[in-house]
């Protein structure tokens, strides 16, 4: 937990931004896997953590802006819980730790909300992503459980996005800790990647590193010889000489700040000529993003710049043709890169995605695209100092997509389908690092950069 003053200051800033109303911020509850007492590893809600800092399940934070009263709501644990789980401080003690004056049992929450309503106060809540909380909220404010998104407070969403988007020094320290663990995860994956070893084995080892050194991994590791599957989870397949292993994985620090990196390792230890060509395209785009990201520039334009670089390289390799700007404007490059360049990152690996991408990554000036590929871009707006973004260009050969587009004659003025056939079983390449926008440009987060230049990767594996 950060110092108490940090949470007090964050809530005060939120109150100032909101001006009036009653804000309800739900913490998460334990969730069962296969029977009630066998639960998933608990993860607190990130917005709740941001303002109320406590990591226990079953808590709700309430901020009465009009009356300047704050509550931590939750039930104290009883002796049965203590026997099985150990002692946990009372809710009043948890509240005091983060500078909250009032605490109350869960049964009081309805009374607080009813009283606010009777005084004409507006009730502000966020869109919910867990069904138990949807039902709780439904009971509390009298809406259908599935309409929390439609009824959520846009003013509250915007105020929270404004605050969480700019990472403060104490948050950057945590991001660096997650990056350090990420470095160890990825360099270990590169060392363990050998013909005959299963994808699952390597993923298990690196997730173990995340679990031992941090809070946990920041999302289910993507680790596969089929890098063309965007979220290809590890299988029991043994790794094959000559193919590439794509590993997209990260860690969560003890304060729940994330890292998210992707590396591609040649399973035989050396890249083939064909692999070098595609890898170089992605490497050039990745480096260009670091050189060009700075305050004031639209992330949308950085995404498009990276797509143009990949298109230029694919033209040199004979896979694409025609005018680069026209090809990218038409969306032809999206056969090879059907995703966005990167997303915000913080306490959520896709930061604040649950609040609605249109509020997090876009604004009145930059609206989301509807074009295939670019419609997956999770952020387009102008960068500001303190924003943390992932820089993750990629190039993939997705057999079903190739067949579909080829059959439709899609973008045939820009794509050399005969040449593409030679890469049908290639897989995919993605390179990902996390950057923080500074006053003048950006910096890659972490003291040590996971090797990614072709010669560095081969030399690292050889050692």
Give the footprint of ligand GLY on this chain (CB under 6 A).
219, 248, 260
Which of residues 64 and 252 has its CB atom nearest to ligand GLY in the complex? 252
Number of H helices, E strands in the chain: 17, 17
How far apart are CB 250 and ligand GLY at their closest, in Å? 7
Which of residues 61 and 394 has its CB atom nearest to Mn ion in the complex? 394
Torsion over CA: 238, 240, 241, 245 (sign): negative
Which of residues 277 and 340 has its CB atom nearest to ligand GLY in the complex? 340
| Count of beta carbons in the 10 Å neighbourhood of residue 395 | 28
How far apart are CB 390 and Mn ion at their closest, in Å? 4
Which of residues 64 and 432 has its CB atom nearest to ligand GLY in the complex? 432
How far apart are CB 93 and ligand GLY at their closest, in Å? 37
How far apart are CB 434 and ligand GLY at their closest, in Å? 10
One of 390, 402, 423, 435 touching Mn ion (CB under 5 A): 390
Tell me the HSE value of 340 on the side-chain side, using a 13 A CA sphere: 22
Residue 47 binding result from ligand GLY, Mn ion, none, given CB thresholds of 5 to 8 Å by partner type: none
Torsion over CA: 77, 78, 79, 85 (sign): negative
Residue 265 binding result from ligand GLY, Mn ion, none, given CB thresholds of 5 to 8 Å by partner type: none
How far apart are CB 237 and ligand GLY at their closest, in Å? 20
How far apart are CB 392 and Mn ion at their closest, in Å? 5
Residue 460 binding result from Mn ion, ligand GLY, none, given CB thresholds of 5 to 8 Å by partner type: none
Residue 359 binding result from Mn ion, ligand GLY, none, given CB thresholds of 5 to 8 Å by partner type: none
Tell me the HSE value of 97 on the side-chain side, using a 13 A CA sphere: 15
Residue corresponding to tokens 């930059």:
366
Residue 426, C-beta contacts closer than 8 angstroms, at least 6 positions apart: 228, 274, 275, 278, 397
How many Å apart are CA 45 and CA 30, to the nearest integer?
11
Which of residues 219 and 359 has its CB atom nearest to ligand GLY in the complex? 219
242-261 residues in contact with Mn ion (CB under 5 A) are 260
Which of residues 133 and 249 has its CB atom nearest to ligand GLY in the complex? 249
Please give, one letter per residue, the 3-state secondary structure of 308-364.
Answer: HHHHHHHHHCCCECCCHHHHHHHCHHHHCCCCCCCCECCCCCCCCHHHCHHHHCCCC
Residue 255 binding result from Mn ion, ligand GLY, none, given CB thresholds of 5 to 8 Å by partner type: none
Stretch that binds Mn ion, among 29-37, 122-130, 360-368, 382-390 (CB under 5 A): 382-390
Residue 192 binding result from Mn ion, ligand GLY, none, given CB thresholds of 5 to 8 Å by partner type: none
Contact between 348 and Mn ion by CB under 5 A: the answer reads no
Q: Are 1 and 255 in contact (CB under 8 A)?
A: yes
Q: Are 5 and 168 in contact (CB under 8 A)?
A: no
Per-residue burial over 383-394, b = 16 or more CB atoms within 10 Å of its CB, e = otherwise:
bebbbbbbbbbb
Structural tokens at position 240: 């094959």
Residue corresponding to tokens 């350090």:
180
How far apart are CB 229 and ligand GLY at their closest, in Å? 12
* Neighbouring-strand partners of residue 180: none
How far apart are CB 261 and ligand GLY at their closest, in Å? 8
Residue corresponding to tokens 């994985």:
249
Residue 283 binding result from Mn ion, ligand GLY, none, given CB thresholds of 5 to 8 Å by partner type: none
Which of residues 315 and 350 has its CB atom nearest to ligand GLY in the complex? 350
Which of residues 45 and 248 has its CB atom nearest to ligand GLY in the complex? 248
Residue 85: in which H helix or E strand, if any?
A: helix 79-85
Q: Which residues are near Mn ion by CB under 5 A? A: 260, 390
């Amino acid at each position: 937990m950060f110092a108490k003053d940090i949470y007090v200051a964050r809530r005060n800033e939120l109150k100032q931004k909101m001006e009036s109303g009653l804000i309800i911020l739900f913490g998460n509850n334990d969730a069962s896997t296969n029977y009630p007492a066998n639960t998933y590893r608990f993860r607190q809600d990130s917005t709740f953590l941001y303002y109320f800092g406590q990591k226990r399940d079953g808590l709700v934070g309430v901020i009465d802006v009009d009356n300047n009263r704050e509550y931590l709501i939750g039930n104290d644990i009883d002796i049965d819980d203590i026997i099985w789980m150990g002692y946990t401080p009372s809710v009043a003690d948890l509240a005091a730790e983060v500078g909250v004056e009032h605490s109350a049992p869960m049964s009081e929450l309805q009374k607080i909300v009813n009283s606010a309503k009777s005084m004409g106060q507006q009730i502000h809540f966020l869109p919910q992503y867990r069904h138990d909380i949807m039902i709780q909220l439904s009971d509390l404010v009298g809406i259908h459980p599935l309409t929390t998104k439609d009824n959520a407070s846009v003013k509250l969403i915007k105020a929270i996005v404004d605050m969480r988007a700019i990472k403060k020094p104490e948050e950057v320290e945590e991001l660096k800790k997650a990056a350090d663990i990420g470095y160890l995860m990825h360099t270990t994956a590169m060392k363990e990647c050998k013909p005959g070893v299963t994808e699952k084995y390597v993923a298990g080892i690196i997730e173990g590193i995340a679990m031992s050194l941090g809070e946990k991994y920041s999302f289910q590791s993507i680790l596969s010889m089929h890098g063309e599957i965007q979220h290809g989870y590890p299988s029991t397949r043994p790794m094959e000489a000559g193919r590439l292993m794509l590993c997209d994985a990260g860690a969560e620090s003890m304060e729940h700040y994330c890292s998210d990196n992707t590396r591609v390792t040649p399973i035989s230890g050396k890249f083939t000529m064909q692999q070098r060509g595609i890898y170089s395209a992605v490497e050039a785009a990745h480096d260009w993003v670091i050189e060009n990201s700075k305050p004031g520039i639209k992330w949308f334009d950085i995404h498009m710049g990276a797509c143009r670089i990949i298109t230029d390289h694919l033209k040199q390799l004979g896979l694409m043709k025609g005018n680069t700007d026209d090809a990218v404007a038409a969306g032809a490059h999206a056969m090879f890169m059907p995703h966005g360049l990167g997303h915000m990152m913080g306490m959520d690996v896709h930061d604040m995605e649950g609040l609605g991408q249109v509020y997090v990554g876009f604004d009145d000036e930059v609206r989301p695209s509807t074009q295939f590929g670019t419609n997956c871009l999770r952020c387009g707006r102008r960068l500001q100092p303190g924003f943390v973004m992932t820089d993750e260009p990629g190039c993939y050969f997705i057999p079903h997509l190739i067949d579909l587009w080829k059959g439709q004659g899609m973008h045939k003025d820009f794509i050399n389908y005969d040449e593409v056939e030679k890469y049908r079983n290639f897989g995919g390449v993605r390179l990902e690092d996390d950057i923080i926008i500074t006053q003048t440009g950006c910096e890659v987060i972490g003291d040590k950069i996971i090797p990614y230049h072709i010669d560095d990767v081969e030399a690292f594996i050889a050692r």
